Structure 1
Amino acid sequence: MDRMGMDLVLGIETSCDETAAAVVAADRRILSNVVLSQIDEHRLYGGVVPEIAARAHLDHLDAIIAEAMREAGIGFADLAAVAATGGPGLIGGVLVGATTAKAIALVHGLPFIGINHLEGHALTARLTDGIDFPYLLLLVSGGHCQLLAVEGAGRYRRLGTTIDDAVGEAFDKTAKLLDLGYPGGPALERAAEGGDPARFDLPRPMVGKPGCDFSFSGLKTAVRRRVEELGGALDEKARADLAASFQAAVAASLVDRSGRAIEAFEADHGAGRPFVVAGGVAANRTLRAALAGLAERRGMPFVAPPLGLCTDNAAMIAWAGQEKLALGQVDGLDFRPRPRWPLDPGAAPSIGAGAVKA
């Protein structure tokens, strides 16, 4: 492969329960993208155990990096920089990835770039679709639910966030209530495929209310009450119908909140800019379809990354590194990883769990 003029960045992602490494070129080509899931290690516990996750990253990261470099067909001397998630996330895992990246940078004389994991998601649409700034972003994952005006790399203005549970967390907790297995989000989506979304009348959180904030704890409580009303003994049909009803309620909430954010965004940036959905929950096809319909009605291009680039991966970290490198924004080896790292530090704190997960 001819690499003349190609700046290559190695990206490392270890913020939660995926150990990942990737090599991405400045021209948006993904030369490799290796992801090792830890689902089997955490399934027994019904959720991610931070200590187990950190140990797994430590055990496997060197081999994952070697595989990513081998797939890309390059050596460390071919790299322009090394980028690693520096937060937010489970701090033990973040430390493993960032420390490994710093060691590679030091040994091979390369720039090191600490990447905000959320910024990786926020910029993925530029990697996959080459869109220009500004655009409206709905970032939905297990720990995050935000609406942001993306005005440039490192320039984010938060329009709304969750005041309690993130949407992915609500999916996982609801799946646990319905005894659908782990990981909960994909299991609930599969169950909902055969369900009747109109059977259970569940609340549509925040729909019709001013502002762009989200709330999902009340919806989760409503599902629990329906389970209790059914005596706790759910047959397959009841599980499917509750899953479908929950998913429909989430979709209605996301569409309503996003619609209000579109109004605020267009007041500043005009009509016709892209509407981007990113993060792990963006892999849910029902939610994608609902949000794509909203974008079509509002005359906005709709962009959602391929399913494999919605969930945690290192290609997005490498691309965010490319964006930072192009701006000359590199970090020293004294960079300090952090468990919390808001994209918009100037945004007002929110009430509830959502505030600490930003």
Structure 2
Amino acid sequence: MHLGNISVRVGHAASISTASTASLLVCGGNRSLTNLAPLGGTPSSLCGVVSTNQHSAAATAQNRSISSSTCSDMRAYAASSRGPLQRRLLHTSRSLTYNVLAIETSCDDTCAAIISRDREKNTAALIDHVKITLDSSLQGGINPALATAHHHQSVGPLIRDVLKKHADTTIDLVCATRGPGLPGCLSSGVTFAKGLSLGLGVPYLGVHHMLAHLLTPRLFEAAEGYSGHKTEFPFLSLLVSGGHTMLVLSKSLYDHTVLCNTADVAIGDALDKCARTLGFQGNMLGKVMDQYCRSADTPSSQWNIPMPVDNKNDIRYSFAAFHSYIGMKKKETQAETTPELALEVQTAIFNHLMKKTKAAFNIYKKEIASATTLVCSGGVAANPRLREALQELCAKYKLEAVFPDPYWCTDNAAMIGWAGIELHEDGYRSDLEGFQIPKWPLAEFEKEI
């Protein structure tokens, strides 16, 4: 099933054995690649979003198993394409062209992507990307147990369909998000990727999720014919999402210095919680609030929201206080939520982010002098007002502000595949004994050989 742009509601996740299923999820035969989709194509043409809530018992039963005929086809492909693993690994490391299958399951998105890499031309093309998103609107936030079940239900059928759709594409490398993220969610993707790599007889590579985010622009800059700005080491990254808020100086794939981090919760978490307090409902509440307040030209000054950690010598981000204050003022004033009030809340949070980022630029002026680019990625980076504010700030420090397309700011498998390509070509290896790393500081990411 190719999801396209269809929005489908499916039910509570059915448990499947990811390792045993993955070893069978291989399909195809012909090793030629034709009609590759150009990198940077319209995201809507590459991805469909599926909300998970409720569906029939019949659909659940269907997702619990793979038909015997499909399994037969997959076993046949595995038998025909599998060679000694070390021979395939050596072949892939030397090949000028190869294809990568990537899996992302760190939180509530089950994603898969196929990327074609041409080392001779130093280009890459995104062949396909699909995403299935858990609908957490009824729970008021992400429930780790439900998210884990969602991945167990979704990852097998998703990969099966992608491989069947691209049966003429031979997979040479399997990548998956190893961490950081929710333990059960990571485990479902990592375990499946290992089984799939064994079934295909190709290498497996575990990818650091935050590294993938900051490398995202380089994926699109690798498109054939691209002639714009190139993100080269050293560069700065502002990673803003529901789980992380940090300013990072990256000098290589393995040399990352966190200049500024959050003292409590991430900016995306604060936006979601404030949006819920203001009465918004749905999935990804920060995005819902942003859409609502776009009709306002200027923010109100109704609540005079104070700036937390208002000390120029303390450059830590801190967002927990915003939720506490908004909750207090909402209860105290019983104010109606208007676009102007919602914009006041969002602006206050963004102003804090900009103020602390500017302070970090000043304190680490010498350390960042050689950097010419700042990459802003993560789900919150899709916000247009944040982009505008950061562009203005970067211009003052002669930095080129680089943003992925809003769709690629959020979690996706394309960034995992590209990070895997960069790591693989640098000699990074992952063994099958390694497991997921839910807490994995970027500064502690090291090369594995």
Task: Output the TM-score relative to the length of structure 2.
Answer: 0.71
Q: Which moved more, 1:258-267 or 1:277-286?
A: 258-267
Deviations 1:192-240 (A, max 9, x none): 2234413231123345522431001122222112212213xx4342xx2
Correspondence list, 1:117-266, <5 A: 117-129=209-221, 130-182=230-282, 183-195=284-296, 196-200=298-302, 201-207=304-310, 209-231=312-334, 234-237=335-338, 240-264=339-363, 266=365
- 2:108 is aligned to 17
Q: How far apart, in 1, do the equivalents of 2:337 and 2:260 lie?
A: 36
- 1:297 is aligned to 396
CA separation of 1:2 and 1:244: change in aligned 2, threshold 3 A? closer
Q: CA deviation at 1:167?
A: 0.2
Q: Is the 8 A contact 2:300 2:341 kept in 1?
A: no
Q: Which moved more, 1:213-222 or 1:304-313?
A: 213-222
Q: What amino acid is aligned across from residue 143 of structure 1 in structure 2?
A: G
Q: Is the 8 A contact 1:31 1:71 kept in 2?
A: no
Q: How far apart, in 2, do the equivalents of 1:185 and 1:84 lie?
A: 27
Q: CA deviation at 1:332?
A: 0.5
The number of residue pairs the alignment matches comes to 338
Q: Is the 8 A contact 2:249 2:368 kept in 1?
A: no
Q: Which moved more, 1:23-32 or 1:245-254?
A: 23-32
Match of 2:430, SS state, is coil
Q: How far apart, in 1, do the equivalents of 2:254 and 2:98 lie?
A: 20
Q: How far apart, in 1, do the equivalents of 2:354 and 2:397 lie?
A: 12
- 2:383 is aligned to 284
Deviations 1:222-276 (A, max 9, x none): 2112212213xx4342xx2331111111221121222233335541242561011
Q: 1:28 aligns with which of 112, 124, 148?
A: 124
Q: 1:80 aligns with which of 168, 172, 181?
A: 172
Correspondence list, 1:310-325, <5 A: 310-325=409-424
Q: How far apart, in 2, do the equivalents of 1:328 and 1:215 lie?
A: 38
Q: Name which structure has the greater RCO, CA cutoff 8 Å, separation 6+.
A: 1
Where does the alignment leave 5 or more consecutive residues of structure 1 unmatched? 347-358
Q: Which moved more, 1:169-178 or 1:295-304?
A: 295-304
Q: CA deviation at 1:125?
A: 1.8
Q: How far apart, in 1, do the equivalents of 2:388 and 2:404 lie?
A: 13
Q: Is the 8 A contact 1:141 1:167 kept in 2?
A: yes
Q: 2:437 aligns with which of 320, 331, 338?
A: 338
Q: How far apart, in 1, do the equivalents of 2:340 and 2:311 lie?
A: 25
Match of 1:270, SS state, is coil
Q: Is the 8 A contact 2:274 2:322 kept in 1?
A: no
CA separation of 1:151 and 1:272: change in aligned 2, threshold 3 A? closer
Match of 1:302, SS state, is strand
Correspondence list, 1:51-90, <5 A: 51-70=145-164, 72=166, 74-75=168-169, 78-90=170-182
- 2:138 is aligned to 44
Q: Which moved more, 1:4-13 or 1:138-147?
A: 4-13
Q: What amino acid is aligned across from residue 107 of structure 1 in structure 2?
A: G
Q: How far apart, in 2, do the equivalents of 1:253 and 1:28 lie?
A: 37
Q: What amino acid is aligned across from residue 220 of structure 1 in structure 2?
A: H
Where does the alignment leave 5 or more consecutive residues of structure 2 unmatched? 1-33, 37-94, 118-122, 222-229
Q: 1:109 aligns with which of 201, 218, 231?
A: 201
Q: How far apart, in 1, do the equivalents of 2:168 and 2:352 lie?
A: 46
Q: Is the 8 A contact 1:160 1:211 kept in 2?
A: no
- 1:353 is aligned to none
- 1:96 is aligned to 188
Q: What amino acid is aligned across from residue 139 of structure 1 in structure 2?
A: L
Q: What amino acid is aligned across from residue 11 of structure 1 in structure 2?
A: A
Q: How far apart, in 2, do the equivalents of 1:253 and 1:188 lie?
A: 18
CA separation of 1:202 and 1:236: change in aligned 2, threshold 3 A? closer
Q: Which moved more, 1:181-190 or 1:90-99?
A: 181-190
CA separation of 1:207 and 1:101: change in aligned 2, threshold 3 A? same
Q: How far apart, in 2, do the equivalents of 1:109 and 1:160 lie?
A: 42
Q: CA deviation at 1:48?
A: 1.0
Q: How far apart, in 1, do the equivalents of 2:237 and 2:165 lie?
A: 32
Answer with 1 or 2: which has the greater Rg: 2
Q: Is the 8 A contact 2:172 2:202 kept in 1?
A: yes
Q: CA deviation at 1:5?
A: 3.5
Q: CA deviation at 1:62?
A: 1.8
CA separation of 1:185 and 1:341: change in aligned 2, threshold 3 A? same
CA separation of 1:296 and 1:247: change in aligned 2, threshold 3 A? same
